[in-house]
Amino acid sequence: MRSGVFIPGKVILAGEHAVVYGKPALAASLRLGVVVVAGEGNSSRENELVRKAITVAGGSEEIGVRIESELPVGAGLGSSAAVAAAIIQAVREYVGKPIGQDELFELTMKCERLAHGNPSGIDPATVVYGGLIVYTKGQPFERLAIKRPLKVLLVNTGKPQESTKEMVELVAKNPDKERLVEEIGELTKKIRQELIEGQEIGEFLDQNGRLLEELQVVGERARGLSRELRGMGAKVKITGAGGRGKGSGMMIALSPDLAKIKRWLDNKQITYLETKIGKV
């Protein structure tokens, strides 16, 4: 076994789900991520995603991988894309054919199609290229340089019962989809502008959160948590595909008084991560 390949997780600030329909989305890589080491082994014993990633990288069955992840699975932090990208890069390095970022993006997309059905590509793009990006399906992405890094809490609303694929399918059937996708797209453009100008994005982010609730990708538990956090002055929105039946993954919370929010979460024994966006 050799030294590992690190690939970060991601957080979507605005535009998830609408991005599947050609609207822009805003996402950032995290400092948390996965490390993969490739070496001699037996990939036939691995799960489907791992085998697929080894295969698309051109690796044989005699290759094995060791995966260490700091990302909660199914939390909306890009775990599946990060694991796939790290495996592909690690296998390619192991077989002596290092891979460039564009090819890594394409091959990670292939793995995402297995997990997702109809992925927009935002997860692979964010974890492979890193930084803060505006992503529109099928277009070159835009890298944003922002004046002030944004301090956020990622509050754990619980593991979703549904897969990303299932959530994307539920949205496809929503009768209000067209209007909501349009409105989310407009908000994403406003958030992009506010970030560039160094303005507060809380209000628009919160509106995006409410539209995701209307889109029915936020379950009762996360909606209850949103009400509580909003009552304490925070601006909130779930990040990633969401979840309807049980948890909805991670929820972004912005507040001028994050210490107060953290004390409340600690009291309720609700877990969270604290991170800065716009600072790689």
- What is the SS3 assignment for 62? coil
**In the complex with ligand MEV, which residue's Cβ is closer, 18 or 53?**
18
HSE of 163 in the Cβ direction (CA atoms, 13 Å)? 12
Q: How many angstroms separate the most distant Cα atoms in the chain? A: 55
Which of 4, 8, 11, 16 lies at the binding interface for ligand MEV (CB under 6 A)?
16
**In the complex with ligand MEV, which residue's Cβ is closer, 17 or 235?**
17
The stretch among 118-126, 146-154, 195-203, 227-235 that binds ligand MEV (CB under 6 A) is 118-126
Based on the shown chain and the rule CB under 6 A, indicate whether residue 240 belongs to the binding site for ligand MEV. yes
Closest distance of CB 218 from ligand MEV, Å: 12
Question: How does DSSP classify residue 223?
Answer: H
Closest distance of CB 262 from ligand MEV, Å: 25
In the chain, the amino acid numbered 81 is A
* CA–CA gap between residue 1 and residue 247 (Å, rounded): 37
Whether residue 123 lies in the annotated active site: yes
Which tokens in the block code for residue 112?
Answer: 């995402």
3-state helix, strand, coil in the chain (%, to 5): 45, 20, 35
Count of residues for the chain?
280
CB-closest chain residue to ligand MEV: 120
Determine contact, residues 19/27, Cβ cutoff 8 Å: no
The stretch among 17-25, 48-56, 100-108, 224-232 that binds ligand MEV (CB under 6 A) is 17-25
Based on the shown chain and the rule CB under 6 A, indicate whether residue 119 belongs to the binding site for ligand MEV. yes
Closest distance of CB 264 from ligand MEV, Å: 27
Closest distance of CB 166 from ligand MEV, Å: 11
* CA–CA gap between residue 236 and residue 109 (Å, rounded): 29
Q: Give me the active site residues, please.
A: 123
Given the rule CB under 6 A, which residues bind ligand MEV?
Answer: 12, 16-17, 19-20, 76, 116, 119-120, 122-123, 164, 168, 240-241
